[in-house]
Amino acid sequence: MKRKRLEAVEGILYVLPSLLLILLFSVIPIFASTYFGFTKYNIMRPAEFLGLENYRRLLKDSYVAAAFKNTAVYVCLTVPVQTGMALAFAAFLAEKRAKLKMGGFLRSVMFIPVIASGVSAAAVWRVILNADGGMLNELLKVFHLPAVNWLGSRFTALLSVCLVAVWKNVGYFLVIYYAGIMGISREIYESARVDGASALQRFWRITLPMLRPVTYLVVTLGIIWSFQVFDISYMMTGGGPGRSTVTLVMAIYNAAFKEGRMGYACAVAMVLFVVILVINMVENVFFKEKGENGK
Amino acid sequence: MKKRKTVGGWTPLSVLGLCLVILFAVVCAAPFLYMFLMSFTQSKTPALRLADIDFTDFSNYIQVFTRNGFFRATLNSCVVVIGSCVLNCVISSMAAYGFEKKNFPGKEALFQIYLLTLMIPGQVTMIPVFIMMDQMHLLNTYTSLIITIVNAFGVFLIRQFMKGVPDELLESAQIDGCPEYRIFIQIVIPLIKPVLVSLVIFTFVNSWNSFLWPLIATTSSEMYTLTVSLSLLKLLDVSNFGLIMAGASISFLVPFVLYLFLQRQFVEGIALSGIKG
C-alpha cells in the first residue's frame, strides 16, 4: 500500500512540470481566449463585457470577410494540388525505386523546402517573382511569354502565395505517402503483376485504396496547416495588394497587435479554432469508421 | 493486356513521370541556389547574372551581420533553439516516464486531456499568452521564447517509444536498491535516445523557423530572432537584393547543414509530427 502511494507521488511529480506548462500555455489561454472574445479588451484597460457584440461585428466586418475568403481559397487551391503531387511523385518513386538509382536523392532534394523557414522561403520567392526583372519573368521571356506582375495584382498575388505553399509542402507529404506505400505488402503487388496488371492499374486498384488512411491524414493536416497560414503571405505580400492576400491569422494579428483590439481579435481567433476543431472531428469520425471496418 | 514499346521497362508515360519528378526537384532546389549565388552579388536588380557573382566578396554578409543586427539575432536564435530542445526533452521525457511507468489516479484521463490540447493551435492562444507574459514581465526575454515550445506532442511521442522499455528491467533495478532518479537518468534515458534525437530535430526546426510568436513577443531589437530580423530586412532596403539574400541564406543554412549530416533522422523527426493520431 505504502509503495503504491509512493509510486503515485513519484508519477505525479514526473508529470507535474509539463502539466503546469500545458495548463499555463494551452488550457488556460484557450478559456481566456473564449472569454476575451466576449469582451472589449486591450492591454491598457480591464476587459469590458460585451456579450455577442464582437461576433455581431465580425459578421459585418469586410476585412475579416476578405481574410476568411482568401484563406478558404488558399485551402481549396493548396490542399488538392499538394496532395495530388505528393501522391503522384511518391507512387512514381516507389514504383521505380529498383530502376531509379537517384530516387533517394530526388526525395532528399524535394525535402529541402520543408526544412527552410516560411520566412526565408518567402523572402527568396518574393525576389524571384519580382515583376521587374525577377527570375520567373526572365524565364517567361525566354519562351516569349508576357511578363506577369505576380505579387502586384489581386488574383496572381494569392495564386503566388498558394504556389509557394505547395512548393514548400509537397516534400513533406511525399515522405508520408512514400512511407505509406512502403508499408503495403509486396506480395499484393507481385500477384497483381503476375496477373498482368499495368503500373497504372496497380496504382488505381492497390496503392490508392490501401493508402486511404494516409490520405485522410495528409488532407486533414494539409487543411489544418493551411488555415493557419501566416508567414508566407506576411513576407511575400504583407496582405496586399489591397486585401487580396490577407489571411485569417493575419487578421487576428493585425486586430490584436496593430490596432490593440484584443477582445475582437480573440473572437476572430475563436472562429479559426472552431473551424480547426470541426476538421479534427470529421477526421476522427472517418478514422474510427475506417478502423472498425478494417479490422 | 496491351503491349507497349518499352526500353528497359520504361514506357513513354513513365519517362514523362520521370521528367516531371526531376523538374520538380530542380524547382525545389533552384530558389536556394539562386539565393546563395545572389548573396554574393551587388546587383541592383533581381535578375542574377553570372558575371556579377564574386565569391570573394562577403560584403553583404558583413553588412547584414554588423549593421542589420543579424549577429545578435543569430545568437538569440541559437540560445532559443538550444534552450527549447533541452527543455522540451527534459520535461517531455519526465512526463512520458510518469505516464507510462508509474500509476497514479486519473492518469489516463489526464493523458486524454493532453491529447486534446494538441488540437489547440498556437494562433488561437497567442493573445492570452502574450497578455500573461506581459504581466509576468517576460516579454523580450529568452524565457518567453523558449518556454512556449513545450507541448503535449513530445510527451505523446516519447510515451509511445517508452512502451518498449521493459518493466522488469526497472523493477529489478528498484529491487537492487537503485534510487528512483537514477533509474530514470541512467536506465530510461539511454534507452529512449533514438526518440530523443527525433524530438530534438523536430523541436530544433520548429523553434528555429518559428516566426509569429517571436514577432509578437519581442519588441526590442536586441531580442529579435533570425526570422524576425529577416522579415524586417525587406522593409529596410528594397533595392539591395544581395543583402536580403544574404540574410535569407544565414537563416536557411543552419538547418540545411544539419539536414545534410542527419538526413534520415531529419526526415523521420519531421515526418513524426504528422503521425499523432
Q: CA-CA distance, A179 to A90, in Å (whole number)?
A: 9
Taking only the tens place, the pLDDT of each residue in B43-76 is: 878 888 888 888 888 888 998 898 888 999 999 9
Contacts of A114 in chain B (CB under 8 A): 270
Which residues, at least 6 apart from A59, have a Cβ–Cβ distance to it below 8 Å?
none
The reply to whether B216 touches chain A by the CB within 8 Å rule is yes
Domain ranges of chain A: 54-294
Taking only the tens place, the pLDDT of each residue in B215-273 is: 999 999 899 999 999 998 877 656 788 899 999 999 999 999 999 998 888 887 777 66
ipTM of predicted assembly, 2 dp: 0.90
pLDDT confidence of residue B92: 96
The reply to whether B227 touches chain A by the CB within 8 Å rule is yes
- Cα distance from A226 to chain B (closest Cα, Å)? 12
* Nearest beta carbon to residue A167 from set B28, B113, B131: B28
To the question of domain A54-294 being in CATH 1.10.4010.10, the answer is: no
Q: Which residue has the higher pLDDT, B85 or B6?
A: B85
% chain A with pLDDT above 90: 54
Which residues, at least 6 apart from A282, have a Cβ–Cβ distance to it below 8 Å?
A220
Per-residue pLDDT band at B86 (split at 50, 70, 90):
very high
Copy the grid coordinates of residue B246: 544574404
For range A41-56, the mean pLDDT: 83
Q: How many helices (H) and strands (E) does chain B have?
A: 15, 0
Which of A5, A9, A14, A126 has the most B C-beta neighbours within 10 Å, making it the best mutation to test the interface with B? A14
- Cα distance from B170 to chain A (closest Cα, Å)? 13
* Nearest beta carbon to residue A22 from set B21, B114, B231: B114
Q: CA-CA distance, B184 to A187, in Å (whole number)?
A: 43
Cα-trace Rg, chain B: 24
CB B173 within 8 Å of CB B187: yes
The reply to whether B123 touches chain A by the CB within 8 Å rule is yes
B214 to chain A: nearest residue by CA?
A: A231
- Give the three-state DSSP class for A49: strand
Q: CA-CA distance, A15 to B147, in Å (whole number)?
A: 16
Task: Compute the C-alpha angle A141/A142/A143, nearest 5°.
Answer: 90
> Do A116 and B147 make contact, defined as CB atoms within 8 angstroms?
no
Strands (E), A161-235: none
Q: So what CATH class is B60-274?
A: mainly alpha
Nearest to A25, CA basis, from B151, B135, B197: B151
Q: CA-CA distance, B262 to A148, in Å (whole number)?
A: 40
